[in-house]
Amino acid sequence: VVAPVQAAEAGHAQPGRTAGGVAASGAVLAPAGAGVAAGVPSAGAGGAAGDATVGRMTVGGAAAGSVVGGAVASAGGAAAGALPPGGNSAAALRQLAGLWGLTLVDGDPCPTAARANLRCLPVKGTLEELRLLDRPAMLKLHDDPAAPNYVLLTALDEHTATITAAGGKPQTLSLEALTARYDGEFTTYWRAPRSWRDEVRGGDQGPDVDWLAKRLSQIYDLKKPQENQPLDAPLRKRLIEFQTAQQLKADGVAGPKTFIRLYQLGGVQEPRLR
């Protein structure tokens, strides 16, 4: 039985069905053998889909960034305090990329990250949806409607959240305080080989459909499917069954959230909320 996750496939802005950017030389790959064990595409399948122990990779220039770190304020002390001042979205997305072992030093973060097979996933949803998606993310705050602030969310439990403003230290505050200022929009990353589309539908054919068919056959203990087959009615039925079990939008369209959940069930070690 596949354990459910309640992150709905609906509610995210689809960036289109085109494949991601060109793979950068030296992209981080899964360790030897990890792709087979977890059902994750290797470099031969068009790029890295995930990794267990990521090393640092720089895109856009020399390494200059650092991963979020530092001391975290106690939940009791921060619960009644104000949020730290936020930053701009580009700075927050660069900081988020650091959790994936990627240093983005210039340019628009989303297309720059796409060169390393790391794609932006903008979502309109609640903090509860983000908790269930289990991904660190950039949050948009509405303290000033004329100039929204952006912070990085790295941990979330029933009562508290840990956020970091660009260039600042992590701070833990009450979930109530964060919810009061949260604008309802977050952006996270998901990894996919350069040849994959952002979503695959009935009748589609290609490496992303091959991986989807293989992964679902592993989950449901079925015979290994043939390659280069379309997303036909039987495969779509199996996909809908999986989406229903995971409490995703059961429409037979495999989008980023479906792929994310397939990765998670395969044991791919990607950044998660603490």
Q: Per-residue pLDDT tens for 108-128? A: 999 999 999 999 999 999 999
pLDDT digits (tens, 9 = 90+) for 44-103: 333 333 333 344 555 554 333 333 333 333 333 333 345 555 579 999 999 999 999 999
Q: Please give the Cα distance from 95 to 109 (Å, whole number).
A: 10
Tens digit of each residue's pLDDT (9 = 90 or more) over 148-195? 899 999 999 999 999 999 888 999 999 999 999 999 999 999 999 999
Confidence at residue 41, expressed as pLDDT on a 0 to 100 scale: 52
Give 164-213 as a DSSP string.
Answer: EETTS--EEEEHHHHHHHEEEEEEEEEE--TT--S-B-TT--SHHHHHHH
Task: Name residue 155's beta-bridge partners.
Answer: 162
Structural domains for the chain: 1-18+199-268 (1.10.101.10), 57-191 (3.90.70.10)
